[in-house]
Amino acid sequence: MFETRYLPASPLYVLLHSWPARLQDRRFLFDVAVNIAIYLPLGASAYMAMRRFTSRILVILAPVVLGTLLSATIEMAQLFTPRRVCSGVDLVCNILGSALGVLAGIAFTRISDTPVHGLGLRFRDRRAIVLLFCWVSFLLFPFYPDLWLSGWRAKLSAFGHPLAMSPILVNAAEWFAAGRLLFAAGARPTFRWLFVSLLLMLVQFGIVNHSPKATDFAAVSLAAILFRFFGLGPRADLLAGISLLIALALGGLSPYHPVDSAQAISWIPFAGLLESEQQNAIPVLFRKLFRYGASIWLLHRAGLSAMRAAAIVILVLAGIEVLQIWLPGHVAETTDPLLALLLCLGLRALGRVQVYPKESG
């Protein structure tokens, strides 16, 4: 919601002279990390979208200029938004994030376009690499270390909470899907890489806003064991896709105790994400991108057309949203089915014709 405000100068002048920098403030440093991280995907995707141009300088500079214009526009618009602060520091961080995103895009294309020898693949699956990036980003965002001893103590204290079967099954399905993505991305041996992924859980102890539980480690271990026996078979993608859809239902319908009166549906897409704090909303978005994108990707690899795979995922998500009308602790909205549709289009744009390998360890 915007409101009319009197400004002593033009919005651009106010933006260029607003530097609320407090280097000794831990919150300020955390905001810097977040503002850099959220513009990394923009810089990377803009770089890949502009690779068709012949000018190397244009391909590199255009994403940074795009990030600069977008950030400046948002910062100046915040002058007329309640509870928002226009900050030149945020602008600089967003520009830096766009530039780092270009470097990430260069690294991504170098990796995905490099022929793979001895794996049965002509190229690594680009879609698998992008979805793995979303998964790792969910696990490690905002990539900012927790420097307070009290925070470490609280995490260690929370680690020993009793195991819960439903979260273990949900997380195990996600890690099993991650194993299939690692396989398509060319990671060998995949089973070993799943155990290496345990290191990501350990790293979470040192990242702010993360508090890994014993349940999380149990889920990774269970997924690795299941992958050892079922992860490289001819129906592994179908099994992983169905398991991930079941996990979506388990997570979306918890705590499974309906209420008497139905609540209203939020018809404005992404309203909940936009109204939430960035440090909370962005990890949720990355996890949804991984879950919905991997579900579509797995069903497509299992033999369905991309549109049919997307239609199944969209219908499952729409059904969950309808049931959430009667479930406490949930907000029924149109965001998730729409996000799945956008992911289908994005994955199709990313994909090249892949030569899928024979399943082998």
Residues 296, 300: Cα–Cα separation, whole Å: 6
Please tell me whether residues 89 and 145 are part of one structural domain.
no
Whole-number pLDDT of residue 120: 46
Please tell me whether residues 109 and 146 are part of one structural domain.
no
- Omega cis (within 30) before 212: no
- Omega cis (within 30) before 8: no
Please tell me whether residues 224 and 109 are part of one structural domain.
no
Confirm whether 306 is domain-assigned. Answer: yes
Confirm whether 278 is domain-assigned. Answer: yes
**Which pair of structure tokens corresponds to residue 147?**
């420097």
Please tell me whether residues 229 and 308 are part of one structural domain.
yes
Whole-number pLDDT of residue 54: 78
Please tell me whether residues 149 and 57 are part of one structural domain.
no
Please tell me whether residues 4 and 129 are part of one structural domain.
no
Confirm whether 118 is domain-assigned. Answer: no
Please tell me whether residues 76 and 168 are part of one structural domain.
no
Whole-number pLDDT of residue 110: 80
H or E stretch including 96?
A: helix 88-112
Last residue of a domain, one of 50, 78, 113: 113
User: Which structural domain range is residue 215 located in?
Assistant: 124-361
Residue that is written with structure tokens 């406490």 in the block: 328
Please tell me whether residues 108 and 129 are part of one structural domain.
no
Please tell me whether residues 131 and 38 are part of one structural domain.
no
Confirm whether 119 is domain-assigned. Answer: no
Whole-number pLDDT of residue 99: 96
Please tell me whether residues 164 and 286 are part of one structural domain.
yes
Torsion, Cα 157 159 160 162, to 10 degrees, reads 130
Identify whether the C-beta of residue 179 lies closer than 8 Å to the C-beta of residue 231: yes
Whole-number pLDDT of residue 219: 92
C-alpha 82, offset from chain centre: 28
Confirm whether 4 is domain-assigned. Answer: yes
Distances (CA, A) of 221 to 175, 187, 239, 348: 9, 18, 18, 32
**Burial environment of residue 100 by CB neighbours within 10 A (0 to 12, 13 to 18, 19 or more):** middle
- Omega cis (within 30) before 234: no
- Which residue numbers in the chain have pLDDT < 50? 118-121, 353-361
Please tell me whether residues 247 and 273 are part of one structural domain.
yes
Helix count and strand count (H, E) for the chain: 16, 0
Confirm whether 339 is domain-assigned. Answer: yes
Whole-number pLDDT of residue 115: 60
Residue 151 CB neighbours (<10 A): 17
Residues in the chain: 361
Last residue of a domain, one of 73, 92, 113: 113
Last residue of a domain, one of 88, 113, 138: 113
Whole-number pLDDT of residue 289: 95
Residue 148 CB neighbours (<10 A): 11
Q: Which residues pair with 115 in a beta bridge?
A: 123
Confirm whether 40 is domain-assigned. Answer: yes
Identify whether the C-beta of residue 43 lies closer than 8 Å to the C-beta of residue 100: yes
User: How far apart are the two ends of the chain, measured CA to CA in Å?
Assistant: 54
Q: Domains in the chain: how many in total? A: 2
Whole-number pLDDT of residue 355: 39
Judged by DSSP in three states, 266 sits in strand
Q: Which residues pair with 123 in a beta bridge?
A: 115
Whole-number pLDDT of residue 307: 92
Please tell me whether residues 165 and 293 are part of one structural domain.
yes
Confirm whether 222 is domain-assigned. Answer: yes
